[in-house]
Structure 1
Amino acid sequence: MTAETSAEGFRSGFACFVGRPNVGKSTLMNALVGTKVAITSNRPQTTRRAIRGIVHRPDAQLIVVDTPGLHKPRTLLGERLDSLVRSTLTEVDAIGFCVPADEKIGPGDKYIARELAGIKKTPIVAIVTKTDLVPPERVAEQLLAVGELGEFADIVPCSAAGDFQVGTVADVLISHLPEGYPLYPEGDLTDEPEQILIAELIREASLEGVRDELPHSIAVVVDEMGPREGRDDMINIYAHLFVERPSQKGIVIGHKGERLREVGTRARKQIEALLGTKVFLDLRIKVLKDWQRDPKQLRRLGFFD
């Protein structure tokens, strides 16, 4: 769509996904965009940024904002993530409230529904995710239960993993967007900088198979990246993984460094797929004591200005 083209009939705008941790928001966004722009994990609170994925259609451009899960914060990082979610809710054209089909409605869902009830001007679409994990009668029960949580513009069941009604979710969200010109160039799938995407892929690889308390303590920063001297088919990437205690450092490294090598191998494959070139990945680990509670360290790690 060119600048000279009329915007009549074309819709464009922002829709954010909100829900408690680990309800499938990032997986659904990736399915909508058609490629991986947000990391996923079965660990709660994997998402730490408001990540934007761009869905291009002939008649619309939908920018999906994946937010961290709303939860009761226990650290300064948690407080600021919740603040990030709430500020995002005031800035979008539509809100997708995600509730999983395979879990009963709980206090967290009811809490978010009450929060959303205070947003009067923005249409809210309830999305029942993970329908592939339960039989149809359970999906029907969940749709009724979600309908009792509040007044929603629409209620849609879907499964990102099973590719069920993902397109319908996009249709419904787009129907609530205003008419307007595209906001991003054709072909752009996210506005996240490459270094942030790479850091997230490293963090995703580091989350696999670790203890419950460790994921929240891991942060990743890409210190340097660039083409290898004398070669145009390889990029050197140097990154640090930060943890909060020396014992956590040992967990990440593993016996004789075996686990860290596994993390590097997994991350490198994902980064090579992202960049379309060979990658040399150098990972180092450093302890930043209680960084989740330290405003100075949070700024240093790039979470907040």
Structure 2
Amino acid sequence: MLDEKYYTKLVDTHQSKLRIDRYLTSVKVPTSRSRLQKLIKQGKVKVNNEVITSPHYYVKYHDLIEIEFPKPPVFPLQPEQIPLKIIYEDEYLVVIDKPAGLVVHPAKGNRTGTLVNALLYHTSLSSQGEDQFRPGIVHRLDKNTSGAMVVAKTEQSYRILSEMVGNREITRIYLCLVWGQPDKEGGTVEAPIGRSRIDRKKMAVTSFNSKTAKTYYEVMVKYGAASLVKCQLQTGRTHQIRVHMNYLGHPILGDETYGGTAKFPPGVKRKWSHQIPQLSQLVRRQALHATYLNFQHPITKRHMKFKSPLAGDIKKACLYLNQQRKAILDPQNN
């Protein structure tokens, strides 16, 4: 049975001999496996009235499992009338075209002015998510990254979408402007990402306390001082595309954290350096846009595809670069 705080389950014979987190996922407890693991480690799960703190416990026939879900936040999140561009919505999920500059969810010291606050005004989010400040959030975009993202509206859709993200069953494609012109037309960057040992606020390619990270990329257009690159995530590490493009020696234009705002950005040849000031004026944040989502609807199982047009500032930069390229290729008509 399920109420606002507790969930109980009696293990059947055919369901025994599974790890408890896998078992609870298999019987469709209305939350994600990662959240279940956190609840177990926090001592919120009992088996036969004994607290367990390891998800490695294997369930047995007739085990009585009790889960205590966290109480609602003392300071509930406030709905706020913030304009949103909705690409798609039904009773289970909503797909947003997030603008650059909008933080996805509240955090300590920053409980207002976020996408979550806007969604709470616009619609109902019954899915609590991983913690009280992230209802429905199954994947994130950085504050200054624009584009398409999906948010769960119910516990059931949250659990399924979270599993799909973890199993790489949601296709996420991005477009970005990087400095310079990569040597290869495309390829795979497979380099582990972890917290930088020099600056703990940054991520870095490192073998120290890192996780595997894989990004497919394809160079769409080589302009001059910059190139338009398509990236597809195969993993979902923090700042993954930004870190991997910088690792290739071609940081994303406007990315102040990973080399994209240098006076003479790496990868730019001297003959294109006159374009740097104008590009820096046109794009004042990382030129990264989530342009495409492709996934199976978690409830109806319908195949869903969503596109987000390139954000205005990045589009203007591409138009400028294209004009510059035409002027060089056909100087008599300029």
TM-score by length of 1: 0.24
Structure with the largest fraction of helix? 1
TM-score by length of 2: 0.22
Larger Rg: 2
